[in-house]
Structures are given as C-alpha cells and as structure tokens.
Amino acid sequence: MATTQATFEELKHAGLDEIDPDIAALLAKELERQRGQIELIASENFTWPAVLEAVGSVATNKYAEGYPGRRYYGGCEVIDEIEQLAIDRAKELFGAEHANVQPHAGAQTNMAVYAAVMEPGDTLMALRLDQGGHLTHGHKVNFSGRLYSVVHYGVSPETLTVDYDDVLAKAKEARPKVIVCGGSAYPRTVETDRFRAIADEVGALLLCDMAHFAGLVAAGLQPNPVEHCDFVTSTTHKTLAGPRAGFILCREEHAKAVDSAVMPGMQGGPLEHTIAAKATCFRIAMTDAFRSYQAQIRRNADALGEALLEGGLALVTGGTDTHLLLVDLRGSELTGKAAEERLHEIDVTVNRNTIPFDERSPFVTSGIRLGTPAMTMRGFDEGDFREVGAIICEALSESADLDGLRSRVAALCAKWPLYDGFRGYTHYA
C-alpha cells in the first residue's frame, strides 16, 4: 500500500509495516541489533513478551488524570482496575504502605519526592554523580542541583565504598531536609540501616533510589530499602525487567504529598498502557522463576568479575554485591571512551563511566560500567560470562584479534536467541 494514497478505512485496519515501512524497517533493524550483540549496559534489559504486549495495548488511548476512583475524565472504570492492580502489586512485592505507579521514568520519581517534601532552596544530600550517584541526585546541570541547595557525600579513597563517617559529618553540618542513598554506578550494597541512623541523628527524611537493584530487592537478594526509608524510588526497566518507567513507594504519612507532587504537580495524563505493563512486571517479579533469574544475575556478575580480574583488569572495590561492575582502566592504555568504542567494534555494548576520583572528563572517563541483567535474560550462565570476561580482556589488549573476537561474540549470541518465535514480532522478524 502506498501510504500517501491510503484510504481512511485502510489506515484503520493496516499494520505498521503497511502504513509506515520506514519505521517498521528501523524496528526490525533495532531487533537485529539487539539480537546480534552482547548487551552489558547495567541499566538495560530485554523485557518480557507479555510486557511488550501490554505496552503496545489500547490503554494508550485513555486519558485518566487523577487516581483510581478520583479521575478528571469519564470512562476510567477499567483503567482504574488496571492502575489499582499495579499499585496493589507494587505494595505487596516490596512490602510498602503506599505506591504511586504514575511516574513516567526514574527522573520523575525523584523530582516528585523532592517536590513533595522540599521547597526550592532546601538542602538535599546525595552521592556525587562521579562517584556513583545520579544526575537527579543534585547535579548542578540538573533541575535538582538548580532548585535545591545540594551537599554531596562521596566514597572513601581507601575502600571506594560510601564513607558513612563522612556522610554523618556532612549531614551534621548541612542539616539536609532529605538524604538520598543509592545511585547508578555503585557496585556495593547500599546500607540503608546506616543511612537511617544518620538521617535520624540529623532529623532528615531518607530516600533510597533503588532503580538499579530493584529486581534484586524483589528477589530478596539485596536488603529491602522500604524497611528503613521514608521514600523509595525506582524504575521498572533495569533489573526489574519491566517497561521503561518509574514508581514511588513511601510511608502512608507521605502518600498524599507524593500523589499531589506527581499529579497535578508535575505530570498530566498517566501512561496507562505502561502502567498496565508495570502491573505485569510486578506480577512476574513475584514468581520463583523471577527469583531464580535474579540469583543468576548475581552469580553471573561474580563470574564476570572474576574473569576480568584473571585477565588483568581492575575493578572498583574489587568486585560487586549486585548486578554491576565498574572496570578501572587507569592501568591500561585505553580511556573509558576508547574502551567503549573498541568493544562496540566486536558487538559488545557497554558505557564509559567515571570511576571515583577520576581525573578524566565525564565524556572520556577512566572506566566502563558492565551489568549482567540483559544477557542473563537471554540465558547466559557463569560459563558464558567467563567467556564474555575473556573476550573483553582480549579486546582491550594491544594485540586484539577483533575478527576472531567478533566470531566468539556471534557464537554466544547464536547460543542464546532473543525473542525467538515470539508471535508479537512476526511483523518485524
């Protein structure tokens, strides 16, 4: 069908490949890219076919400003059931008193919590971005750094783990309204009990951003921050393996403030198709199969770490408690940027990342960040990840045989197909 001549009736019944072959072809190309590479970006995953179906559903058609039972639009009776299921499942999965499942993404979750309990100019305390934090944890170019008075804590130069004495000393001096723990490039357990003690000592509220390790929490493989924190924010698309989106958990006393901060404070109509997919993601996260998957993510991260160390690379903190590893490249010829580019040449996808006390710029960096959730979803086990570690070490050496390494990557990808036979992809496969 030539789309420019399509009739209204044809437009109403045709699929994407007929109506927009350009986008259909690009989606097919993206699927092939995902199938043909080793995906090690710690914040990415391959979500479940069931989640893809929910995201592509008719719930995208519905306006539903407000909350279940309190909407500003008619016709929300089914959407209310969908959103209520997502809320109930989030609360059950993490043992939380209240859940808001409307934030479009992780940045909005933190923005909403700050807006719920702080005024512009109030003091926020969080881990520095270049030592493992996040842009929305008060970086100067982000809304959080522009709106609030920010005091950052860092990691100990000796252990490269959070220096809790430093956190306490800084908190006593700055008297923050909110202390944030968690981050996007911190390979070790976030000790929320120790943060709670510090927050109590200075009268601060405590927020844990568990976006990276939420799946491990759901599986009981990392301590549940809900136990010690006033607020817990997360995305659903990293270790949790759900749709690209966010959600907030909090104590009941903050429920109204959080809900108002999300809508009408910063968002209008919620993305109910994505909320349906969040509900599905939470349901899947309650299964034994999901818990086994998370345990494999952890074993694979340890196996990858051991292989990298055996191959001569250095790791920040020497290893990991989670799904992510930070490789310290200061002993190599390569910068983080050069390593990312070299690995891209052999179809291994990673991101450059600053390491604590990095002397290079955030665009160049002295590190790369690696994570195991996505390839574990494909089926990789410890043996596969040891081979991935060996491939990375060889690729970053001076005498790398890039063609040979590319073949080894292709063999691993062929061993564990992605979205093989999923009927929702018949258009694009």
Q: Provide the annotated active-site residues.
A: 63, 65, 209, 235, 238, 244
Helix (H/G/I), strand (E/B), else coil: 315: strand
* Minimum separation from the CB atom of position 22 to ligand DSN (A): 28
How is residue 134 written in tokens?
Answer: 């996040």
**CA distance linking residue 309 with residue 301, whole number of Å:** 12
* Minimum separation from the CB atom of position 210 to ligand DSN (A): 11
Q: Considering only CA atoms, which of 342, 314, 317, 341 is closest in space to residue 328?
A: 314
**CA distance linking residue 87 with residue 82, whole number of Å:** 9
Q: Tell whether omega for the bond before 264 is within 30 degrees of 0, i.e. cis.
A: yes
**36 neighbors 410 (Cβ within 8 angstroms):** yes
Helix, strand, coil percentages (3-state) for the chain, rounded to 5, are 50, 15, 40
**CA distance linking residue 199 with residue 246, whole number of Å:** 25
* Minimum separation from the CB atom of position 69 to ligand DSN (A): 33
Residue with smaller CB distance to ligand DSN, 43 or 296: 43
* Minimum separation from the CB atom of position 349 to ligand DSN (A): 12
Helix (H/G/I), strand (E/B), else coil: 193: helix
Residues 301-330 that bind ligand DSN (CB under 6 A): none
Q: Considering only CA atoms, which of 347, 331, 259, 277 is closest in space to residue 39?
A: 347
**78 neighbors 105 (Cβ within 8 angstroms):** no
Near ligand DSN by CB under 6 A: residue from 43, 131, 274, 300: 43
**CA distance linking residue 303 with residue 421, whole number of Å:** 30
Residues 184-213 that bind ligand DSN (CB under 6 A): 184, 211
Residue with smaller CB distance to ligand DSN, 2 or 141: 141
Residue with smaller CB distance to ligand DSN, 142 or 317: 142
Burial level of 70, CB count in 10 A (0-12/13-18/19+)?
Answer: exposed
Is 45 a binding residue for ligand DSN by CB under 6 A? The answer is no
One character per residue 97-136, x = contact with ligand DSN (rule: CB under 6 A): ---------x---------------------------x--
One character per residue 245-284, x = contact with ligand DSN (rule: CB under 6 A): ----------------------------------------
Q: How many residues bind ligand DSN (CB under 6 A)?
A: 5
* Minimum separation from the CB atom of position 93 to ligand DSN (A): 20
Amino acid letter at 28?
A
* Minimum separation from the CB atom of position 162 to ligand DSN (A): 17
- Exposure on the CB side of residue 289, measured as CA atoms within 13 A: 8
**CA distance linking residue 35 with residue 404, whole number of Å:** 19
Kindly state the DSSP code that residue 75 receives in the 8-state scheme: -
Residue with smaller CB distance to ligand DSN, 43 or 239: 43
Footprint of ligand DSN on this chain (CB under 6 A)? 43, 106, 134, 184, 211
